[in-house]
Structure 1
Amino acid sequence: MHRARAPFVRPATLVAALLAVSGCSGGGEPAARVPTPTPSGLAHYTPATGSPAPATSPQPTAPKECVQTAGMSVEQLTGYLKELRSTSGNYQTKGLTLDSSGLNFTPEDIKRPCEAVSVKLAHYWVDLKKTHEANVVSGARYEYSYTLIGAASHTAGPQDGRVPDTAPPGASACRGTVSVAYLGQDLSLQALPYDLKLVDTTAPVPVKVNGDGVLSAIYVSPPHPDSC
């Protein structure tokens, strides 16, 4: 008597059948494959539209070269300010000067002071008196007498510009003015010039004033000195 044998199924055939069943969904559509992430996918990341870009730090700018004047003596500061040149480009023009508007500070960039400097400014009346009339041999001669109007300290720099309230007083009939910017001890009347050139203009002209601390000096003549 023979027993019926169950049919023998090869393992490869069984695996193929299982794969066929698992590859089918309930609706008969093939199941979507899940992609395997790769490290290269990170390189393709794009920020969302409108997101701000990372802020970049500004490049530091090199500071302008300046001169430390805080610890200078009167002699050192006087020498430094006398040699300080202007940005005007004219030969030997100074960075700190006196003109009709007063003290002006316009030094070149590379040697300007790092901080403001204190400068004294004195104004004087110059009274004229004719002592000799002009003739065919010589011109008229005058005597000068000085009177101090006032002296005060003013701060100049480190920015460019005119120092407020430093303009010389206006000249009048037979009376001019001399203004002196200086450092150190106050000036004596004997240090002021007694050889002024009289001109028919009130435009200031530079004059020489004796003194180690003198930085700049100007003279404003009376408008009509011949009538004095």
Structure 2
Amino acid sequence: MQEGVWSNPWTEGNNTETLFDTSVARENQCILDIEAPKFHLFATYIALNCRNSLVLIHQHRAHIRILYERYLRQLALQKVVSQTLLFPLSLSLDHGQRQDFDAALPLLQQVGFQFDITADTIEVTAIPMEGQPQQAEAWVMALIDNNADGGSTPVENAKERMALKLAKLAAIPAGRFLSPEAMEDLVLRLSETDEPKYTPDGKQTMVNLDSDALVSLFNA
């Protein structure tokens, strides 16, 4: 396992987060009352009180925002965070896919994938910490396709596309039960992001219902 691993409350392990700078107070931390009691609704939303309003956080979208910023940081700092596969996975690529793979390889390595590559074979030997071994092939194929679809765009845009696609693949899904500890962790990490209210592609991660909104619902 590489340096820079983090504690993931949704998977097993006792790794320690080192990629988030928690020493600097951010203005965004005031958006959410991270100490407020939290409730899980429909295994998809985290409900909590915030500044005299009810906040509903979409767990999948919130995790996309968190992971996107983490992966961008990894790409910028080139801090590799990986888990080694017990059994390497062989990839079967045609000529075109091999070209796409070669083009995407530097970014794949920077977000946590590792490979054993020869002229004729490619084996996946490590994957990002949030992944599962059975997801490795599908993730690699989705990421190289996503990279190829971008065409000849600037490097920074390629990094952003890679970070967003991987975040969408790795984010906890709607419909998955979260423990109280996982909810606390998700809300805290969301509050530390640069844009906690939206996913990188502009979707809301949360909605606020103030007292006026609630009254209007009952008076409808």
TM-score class normalised by the smaller sequence:
under 0.3
Question: Larger strand proportion, structure 1 or 2?
Answer: 1
Question: Larger helix proportion, structure 1 or 2?
Answer: 2
Q: Which has the higher contact order (CA 8 A, sep 6+)?
A: 2
TM-score by length of 2: 0.23
